[in-house]
């Protein structure tokens, strides 16, 4: 099912998302406004409203792991064993949301990319369960939670939206290339770097005994934090770009997603640096937003 000639619902979804975030970036740069990390003067001990939830991403990444795990199971079964994709609804979803399929991605590359995203979301689920400590001031609304679920489903489907798949014909690994090795290495480095960033941020809210003593904000220091305000956002962009490199440069659907992710991370980094500069007089003025020495 096509919405516009040659444009799928998935591509349109990512395009609208990226355009909206791009508008927020431009508007913020012009007006000097930014997202308030503390949501104003909200009391962190105040009770939540009927339709308010604490800002947590545990449920989001749990859904991501489950859905991406299902997609991984289906695509690996199709690539390795030649199982049909339409046995439990995946092909029907793709026919609805990803048509017209361009067939720009080899099934083996899609299986590798799906594994990469599953590893990434699995790590983030672990961090949300055992590492991250969120501020009590920030809340989320039901529409935001629904948009999170929409992102999870759309991202998982975007991985396999342009797969060139022949039913009952197992794929070979001849499509893997030598340049996939440094791409995977860069993907691994970005995951490790992002994990170290979240550990450092969590330590700012713990004492030497490991007990949580605050959910407030402090200036992070050390490692990449000496160069940029939000290295974890840079790592997130790199992760999605490396997955795109595995899928191939002709994969319009995934690169639309990667463009949205990069634009959104830039907006979040800009907002965070503005807030840090306003909140802390000692915040280093020469610290970049997201890319060392550049941006």
Closest CA to 59 of 142, 174, 138: 142
What is the per-residue DSSP string for 182-248?
HHHHHHHHHHHHHHHHHHHHHHTTB-TTS-B---S-----SGGGGTBS-HHHHHHHHHHHHHHHHH-
Q: What gap in Å lies between CA 223 and CA 149, rounded to an integer?
A: 33
Torsions phi, psi for 202 (to 5 deg) = -65, -35
pLDDT tier at 41, thresholds 50, 70, 90: very low
Residue 202: pLDDT over 70: yes
Q: Roughly what angle, to the nearest 10 degrees, separates helices 142-159 and 58-81?
A: 20
Q: What gap in Å lies between CA 166 and CA 164, rounded to an integer?
A: 7
pLDDT at 101: 67
Spatial neighbors of 30 by CB under 8 A, at least 6 apart, are none
Q: What gap in Å lies between CA 27 and CA 30, rounded to an integer?
A: 5
**Mean pLDDT across the chain, nearest whole number?**
81
pLDDT tier at 36, thresholds 50, 70, 90: low
pLDDT at 64: 92
Using CA atoms, how far residue 129 sits from 50, 59, 74, 87, in Å, is: 25, 10, 27, 33
> What are the structure tokens assigned to 290, written together?
């997201």
- Convert the pLDDT of each residue in 246-290 to its tens digit: 988 888 899 999 999 998 998 888 888 888 888 888 888 888 888
Q: What is the pTM of this model?
A: 0.87
> What are the structure tokens assigned to 57, written together?
């991403």
Task: Select the more confidently predicted residue: 133 or 186.
Answer: 186
């Amino acid at each position: 099912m096509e919405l516009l000639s040659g444009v799928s619902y998935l591509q349109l979804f990512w395009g609208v998302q990226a355009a909206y975030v791009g508008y927020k970036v431009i508007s913020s740069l012009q007006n000097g406004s930014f997202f308030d990390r503390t949501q104003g003067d909200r009391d962190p001990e105040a009770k939540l409203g009927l339709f308010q939830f604490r800002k947590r991403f545990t449920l989001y990444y749990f859904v991501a792991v489950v859905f991406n795990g299902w997609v991984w199971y289906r695509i690996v079964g199709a690539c390795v064993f030649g199982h049909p994709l339409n046995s439990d609804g995946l092909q029907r979803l793709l026919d609805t949301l990803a048509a017209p399929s361009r067939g720009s991605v080899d099934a083996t590359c899609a299986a590798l990319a799906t594994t990469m995203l599953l590893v990434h979301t699995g790590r983030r689920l672990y961090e949300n369960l055992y590492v991250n400590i969120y501020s009590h001031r920030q809340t989320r609304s039901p529409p935001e939670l629904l948009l999170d679920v929409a992102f999870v489903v759309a991202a998982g489907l975007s991985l396999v939206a342009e797969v060139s798949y022949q039913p009952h014909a197992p794929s070979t690994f001849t499509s893997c290339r030598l340049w996939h090795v440094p791409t995977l290495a860069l993907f691994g480095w970005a995951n490790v770097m992002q994990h170290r960033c979240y550990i450092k941020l969590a330590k700012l809210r713990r004492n030497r005994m490991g007990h949580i003593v605050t959910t407030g904000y402090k200036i992070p220091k050390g490692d990449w934090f000496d160069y940029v305000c939000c290295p974890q956002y840079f790592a997130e962009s790199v992760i999605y770009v490396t997955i795109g490199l595995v899928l191939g440069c002709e994969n319009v659907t995934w690169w639309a997603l990667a463009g949205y992710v990069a634009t959104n991370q830039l907006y979040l980094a800009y907002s965070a640096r503005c807030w840090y500069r306003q909140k802390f007089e000692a915040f280093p003025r020469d610290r970049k937003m997201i890319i060392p020495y550049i941006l």
